[in-house]
Homo-oligomer: A and B are copies of this chain.
Amino acid sequence: MNAFDLSFAELRARRNNKWSRYGSDVLPAWVADMDFAIAPPIQTALGHLVAGHDFGYPLRNGERADRAIANAFERRMKSRLDWTVDVELVQPVADLVQACFASVVAFSDPSDSVVLQVPAYPPFRDAILDNGRRMIEHPLRDTGTQFALDLDALVRLIEPQTKIILFCHPQNPTGRAYGMEELRALAQVAIDHDLIVVSDEIHCDLVHAPLGHIPLACVSQEMAERTVTLSSATKGFNIAGLRCGVMHFGSQRLMQRFHQRIPRKLLGQVGITGIDATIAAWDESQPWLDAVKQHLLEARNHIAERVAKELPAARMYLPQASYLAWIDMSALELDEPPFDFFLEKARVAFSEGASFGPQYNNFVRLNFATSREILDAILDRCFDAARAFQRRRRGSNDPATGDAILQRHKP
């Protein structure tokens, strides 16, 4: 039992998408929310706002509150990643999806194309397609031990009309945290083809030891000048609903180019609860995050061990970051997409593989940011359902059904 674990009743009482979308007999392992209590400094900051009836036009330290978030980002990047950012080049945003949409509009025209590594978080696809740009899918390469950037393929895919790479680092859903060598090679391609790279680094707080996060903009000054970094405390500190993130532009020129098409005020102001929570997260909540990361690391290794032992047909690599496992269920030879199978037969809700790209229909994304007890219940249900399916297919008379599984694994 961790200090940050919540009871099953507390989780069910949350009015979030994760615990409300499905029936009460379903264990949710989908949307990127963690089943943990919020870091105490964040709770204190929000409690302070409520106690003070203090929801007017905010100032912080004599400055506009959006400036305070830029300053907090600067401190965080310096102290955690040894990256020196310029607070003048920080633009607060509500969320990373908004930042992607705005970047696509700012740095490309409707006839242009945008590269996206796949599998990909669905809103990235929307940011390209909803804005009438063409999407160039750039599949991650499965090396047999990990997912990797296939830079030779990337060079072949780039067209004269290609203007942007929408990059996700650490990558969602695969959990890849790219190393310096891969980032340098990507940077060279971007420089050679005069591309802007929009680098979503919102999972940067969740890179697992012994690796560390390397911001793309740190590869070289030349690369920084064409990099828009997207960051937030929402993933690491579980406050996505408060809607607060930042864009950082690698040069004044890049920011000016952005604002020529996207005036600041078109983006809207960030709410004060998001700002105060983010500042409390970045400045004061590292002890909470350290404990959570230790738990996540152990959970990740535990899943990998159990999968290898109990359902070896399910193929997964150890995610290097975050609390998401990208699992290939092809070898199970289910007669329906694994998302549907596990929802129906195991009453477990994963994220659907196909939502990350239609070719990933046989994958699921497992969110393991929960207690060990719930995680084991999720795995038990899934393994039992998969075994029952295989017994049925082999003509076995074993009567195991979804209902029987449910009975056994109610947390």
Contacts and interface: CB of A to CB of B under 8 A. Distances in A.
Interface of A: 6, 10, 13-18, 20-21, 31-34, 36-38, 43, 46-47, 49-50, 52-60, 62, 65, 93-95, 97-98, 101-102, 105, 123, 126-127, 130-131, 238-244, 263, 265-274, 277
Contacts of A274: 271, 273
Nearest to A60: B15
B52 A10 contact: yes
Contacts of A34: 56
Contact of A57 (B16, B267, B272): B16
Contacts of A102: 266
A98 B266 contact: yes
Given A14-B53, A16-B59, A94-B271, 16 more contacts: A17-B59, A18-B57, A34-B56, A43-B50, A55-B238, A55-B242, A57-B240, A58-B241, A95-B268, A95-B269, A97-B265, A101-B266, A126-B265, A130-B263, A271-B271, A273-B274
A268 B271 contact: no
B273 A56 contact: no
A204 to B, nearest CB: 19
A163 to B, nearest CB: 17
List the number of copies, as a whole number: 2
A203 to B, nearest CB: 15
Nearest to A64: B17
Contact of A58 (B17, B36, B97, B266): B17
Nearest to A237: B55
Contact of A56 (B33, B52, B54): B33
A94 B242 CA distance: 12
Given A50-B46, A101-B263, A56 B238 contact: yes
A265 B123 contact: yes
A240 B53 contact: no
A121 to B, nearest CB: 13
11 contacts: A14-B53, A15-B60, A16-B56, A17-B58, A56-B239, A93-B268, A94-B268, A98-B266, A242-B272, A242-B273, A244-B271
Contact of A265 (B31, B54, B130): B130
